[in-house]
Structure 1
Amino acid sequence: MIHIGIDVSKYKHDCFIATETVSHQFSFENNQSGFKELLDKLKPYSKQEMIIGLEATGHYGENLKSFLTLHGCSFMEINPFLVKKFGEANSLRKTKTDKKDAQLISTYLRSVDYKAYHHQSYHISALKSLTRLRSKLISMRTRHYNMMTKVLDVIFPEYKPFMHERGYSETSLYILKHYSSPGRIAKLNDDHHDKLHRLSKGKFSYPRFVKLRELAKSTIGVAQDHQLFKLKTSISHVGMLTKDIDETERQIASLMDRYPTKIQTIKGIGIISAAIILCEYGDISLFSNPAGMLSYAGLDSTIKQSGTMSSTGRLVKRGSKYLRAALINVCMMVMIYNPVFYAYYSKKKQEGKHHRVALVHLAKKLIRVIHHLETNQEDFDSKKMK
């Protein structure tokens, strides 16, 4: 077999080719001529004998992976942390260069089972990019929500407790955008209520409208021009971010039509949550057992054992934070719609587990179920669960 390690970086990549008798090392640029050079170097070898490995280094390797896939070359992505520990176990010297890393990856490939990424797994990277973009857009919107709350604490501190919203509803944003100061809100009339009533689909009742006006009239807040400007700016950003989030979700839904999955057969898991789980794991068939999926999500516990002492600690949290958050959050909905999951959650609570700890146990069970469904291509059936 020919073991080929590629160390990926921004402007160039280093490659180490090791056969049973000789080895060859070279660098190639991250452009078309560099990729052609790599292809020329690989031509003497059979694609069936080549074992190509590269570290998972974010977006720097996307074009290279696309190029390899286009030319029929399979490859294996490796966790950089595993390569680092492998190197530390084989040498006490603290030498780290791109060339050494490429050689280390090639050597590491000799010690593990080769699991090539499927062509479909690579194309799921588009889905992964969109779901992570959505997460970042939501975080940005949340920051503007917090800024709006800080401003309201100064100009109209009674507003937020009265509206009793986790974020800001469409009705609330409309009020703050068009009647930002307490003085203007205090002067609203019945015609304004009709508009708000329709916008809220009947939820913003007339008694609440009257109460809001009274609070605006008697507020202890001070409407300062610079604070009103901050509020206006944040509302504008929230509006743009909301449109971007909606468009991102539409594109995610469109991509999900191309990748049939059994994850959504579990009640409570929507298309966005299913997309995050699917794209973060990639090709689930690469996981021989659920334990590997647990470790990938960082949901396995640390284990310390020495002599007669043995203990388990906190979660490792070395996996994908997006995947881990999605799994734990979706469990809240899964146990609402599936009695068998709620029974398992209740069992953990009765054992004295904290709410978040019980959710982690439920997430582990959910992973085991997902692995079974995707491996056997079965729809979820609660009657089959133990």
Structure 2
Amino acid sequence: MDTQQTATPKLFIGIDIHKRSWKVHCSSDLFGGKTFSMGPYPEQLQSYVLKHFSGYQVTTAYEAGCCGYHAHRCFISYGWDSLVVNPADIHRKGKERHTKTDRIDAQLIARELKDGRLESIHVPDMEREQLRSLFRRRNDLVKNYRTIKNLIKSQILYLGIEVPPEFDNSHWSHNFRHWLDTLDFKYSGARLALDSRLRHFRFIDQDLRDVSTQLRRQCKTYYKKDYMLLRSIPGIGGIVACGILCELGDLRRFRSLKHLAGYVGIAPGIHQSGDNLRTTGISRRAHRLIRSYFIEASWQAIRTDPVMQMYYRKHQGKNVKSIIVKVARKLLSRTLAVIKTETPYVVGVVE
């Protein structure tokens, strides 16, 4: 009796991606699968699939990591379905939690993909992704800036030099920098070390200013409408607005405030066992950088916006950290509303 294929066969490919090699597990809807190693080249995987699985409907998945989205974009261009998944979303059972190899990881991804339990993270377009790299470069510079300032102050403290009271704060004025330049040491070694650190400090300071200016200019050029909408909200300055545009992308993609708050991490953690239900504080799963930006922006918002100020005072007397998180969520709600309605915020209008 002749048999005919009535449905397109499906191929599920789980990939554990590394810089020098990939571990690949191929599994179809009819057989368990095969695991093998290959070079880190999407076209090499395409050649393998065309040779051994021609005519299959292909779906691939790999964990988000240092290799970015290049492979994902290549797979899409081949006409395949492709998912980039959060490593925390890959379910491990039993001893899989304590045994980790590249082979096991590829097999787990393929299994979860085949069972339909994986969801892709949001993959930004290339323009926004490359703008994001500029924003992250600025954050690297901010860390280096703080580090070199601490090193300079630690040297002064170590050598027993007292900083004048008018300079003993986090703001480094031109007068304070001049005071550092004119410090007199008994031996030249300390002066040479301080001069080296001051040169490093001035280089980072200037580079940070330049990158910040370029970042704001890029956002105004490519996303001017959304940038100006965000800047209309009290508490959200130029850099915070750039961070939202670069890291969160187009806020219109979020279905609701709950969806956005869960992504940013301004949402409560909940633990329930039987009749015992308790909150575990703020969610541990978060976009930590943007969450910190919203927390900082909230302190500025309560100083400049009467509505936010009134909301903060209504909760005064409680834990300050809990209150500012509430304010941050309200600021997040305001941010989403401004973008979705495309209406600038008006200060002092009660929502």
| TMscore range, shorter length | 0.7 to 0.9
Task: Tell whether 2:269 aligns with 1:276.
Answer: no
Give unmatched runs, 5+ long, in structure 1.
182-221
Aligned pairs (5 A) from 1:11-22: 11-22=20-31
Residue aligning to 1:371: 336
Q: Distance in 2 between matches of 1:294 and 1:36?
A: 38
Residue aligning to 2:7: none
Task: Tell whether 2:230 aligns with 1:237.
Answer: no
RMSD, aligned CA: 3.1
Q: 1:139 to 1:37 in 2, by over 3 A?
A: same
Percent identical residues:
22
Give unmatched runs, 5+ long, in structure 2.
1-9
Q: Distance in 2 between matches of 1:249 and 1:105?
A: 39
Task: Tell whether 2:218 aligns with 1:246.
Answer: no
Q: CA deviation at 1:360?
A: 1.3
Which residue identity does 2:143 align to in structure 1? S
Q: 1:314 to 1:14 in 2, by over 3 A?
A: same
Q: CA deviation at 1:72?
A: 6.7
Residue aligning to 1:53: 61
Residue aligning to 1:225: 188
Which of 5, 14, 18 in structure 2 is aligned with 1:9? 18
8 Å CA contact retained: 1:69, 1:119: no
Which of 136, 143, 166 in structure 2 is aligned with 1:139? 143
Task: Tell whether 2:43 aligns with 1:36.
Answer: yes
8 Å CA contact retained: 1:297, 1:317: no
Which residue identity does 2:297 align to in structure 1? V
Q: 1:383 to 1:137 in 2, by over 3 A?
A: closer
Which of 178, 183, 190 in structure 2 is aligned with 1:180? 183
8 Å CA contact retained: 2:59, 2:80: no
3-state SS in 2 of match to 1:244: helix
Q: Distance in 2 between matches of 1:244 and 1:38?
A: 42
Q: CA deviation at 1:320?
A: 2.6
Q: Distance in 2 between matches of 1:286 and 1:74?
A: 20
State the TM-score, normalizing by the size of structure 2: 0.80
Q: Distance in 1 between matches of 2:338 and 2:12?
A: 34
Runs of 4+ in 1 over 6 A off after TM superposition: none
Q: 1:78 to 1:284 in 2, by over 3 A?
A: farther
Which residue identity does 1:21 align to in structure 2? L
Residue aligning to 2:3: none
Q: Distance in 1 between matches of 2:46 and 2:71?
A: 11
Greater mean deviation of Cα atoms: 68-77 or 321-330: 68-77
Q: String of CA shifts for 1:270-306, please: whole Å, max 9, x gaps.
A: 2211122232224544533323332333333332222
Q: String of CA shifts for 1:150-191, please: whole Å, max 9, x gaps.
A: 3334454142x22243231233213422x222xxxxxxxxxx
Q: CA deviation at 1:245?
A: 0.9
Q: String of CA shifts for 1:306-327, please: whole Å, max 9, x gaps.
A: 2332221232333232112111
Q: CA deviation at 1:376?
A: 4.5
Q: 1:132 to 1:95 in 2, by over 3 A?
A: same
Q: 1:106 to 1:345 in 2, by over 3 A?
A: farther
Residue aligning to 2:5: none
Residue aligning to 2:287: 320
Q: 1:254 to 1:272 in 2, by over 3 A?
A: same
Task: Tell whether 2:116 aligns with 1:111.
Answer: yes
Task: Tell whether 2:312 aligns with 1:353.
Answer: no
Query: What is the total number of aligned residue pairs between the two structures?
Result: 331
8 Å CA contact retained: 1:145, 1:167: no
Task: Tell whether 2:222 aligns with 1:258.
Answer: yes
Q: String of CA shifts for 1:195-221, please: whole Å, max 9, x gaps.
A: xxxxxxxxxxxxxxxxxxxxxxxxxxx
Q: String of CA shifts for 1:338-382, please: whole Å, max 9, x gaps.
A: 222222222222xx2233322111111222233333444443356
More helix by share: 1
Q: 1:364 to 1:2 in 2, by over 3 A?
A: farther
Greater mean deviation of Cα atoms: 267-276 or 145-154: 145-154
8 Å CA contact retained: 1:155, 1:223: no
8 Å CA contact retained: 2:305, 2:348: no
Q: Distance in 1 between matches of 2:86 and 2:340?
A: 23
Q: Distance in 1 between matches of 2:174 and 2:55?
A: 61
8 Å CA contact retained: 1:74, 1:117: no
3-state SS in 1 of match to 2:68: helix
8 Å CA contact retained: 2:85, 2:118: no
Q: Distance in 1 between matches of 2:345 and 2:35?
A: 50
Q: Distance in 1 between matches of 2:299 and 2:55?
A: 51
Q: Distance in 1 between matches of 2:236 and 2:135?
A: 15
